[in-house]
């Protein structure tokens, strides 16, 4: 079962994370992943966009180190890399997520 490559947390730059979260669609994806607190398939996000666009955004979220995608059968299960990011950039993701849920 082939898996997708992800950057090691050491290579993740803060600017990558900022960039990934500067897009409303991607911010929404991250918000939903956080709220759900479980792994979600790409298709579960009903953001009214073609799958090629969604795939593009997930690719950026992965390369920014924010999302981990595990292939299970035909589905791609996505989770937030909260613990690792919290370790490397304490408070950053947490405070962003908190701001999102209150807005």
Partner DNA sequence: TCCATTGTTCGAATATAATCGAACAATGGA
Partner DNA sequence: TCCATTGTTCGATTATATTCGAACAATGGA
Q: Would you tell me which residues interact with DNA (CB under 7 A)?
A: 1-2, 4, 19, 23, 25, 41-44, 49-60, 69, 71, 73-76
Cα 92 to Cα 84: distance, rounded to the nearest angstrom: 12
- Say which entry of DNA, its own copies, none residue 76 contacts (CB below 5 to 8 A, set by partner kind): DNA
The nearer residue to DNA, 54 or 82, going by C-beta atoms, is 54
Minimum CB–partner distance for residue 77 and its own copies (Å): 25
Q: Tell me the C-alpha to C-alpha distance, in Å, between residue 11 and each of 5, 35, 36, 80, 100.
A: 13, 26, 27, 17, 26
């Amino acid at each position: 079962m082939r898996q997708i490559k992800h950057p090691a947390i050491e290579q993740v730059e803060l600017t990558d994370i900022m960039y990934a979260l500067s897009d409303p669609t991607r911010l929404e994806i991250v918000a939903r992943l956080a709220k759900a607190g479980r792994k979600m398939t790409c298709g579960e996000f009903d953001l009214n966009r073609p799958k090629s666009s969604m795939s593009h955004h997930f690719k950026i979220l992965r390369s920014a180190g924010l999302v981990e995608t595990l292939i299970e059968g035909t589905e791609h299960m996505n989770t937030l890399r909260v613990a690792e990011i919290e370790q490397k950039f304490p408070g950053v993701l947490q405070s962003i997520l908190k701001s999102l849920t209150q807005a």
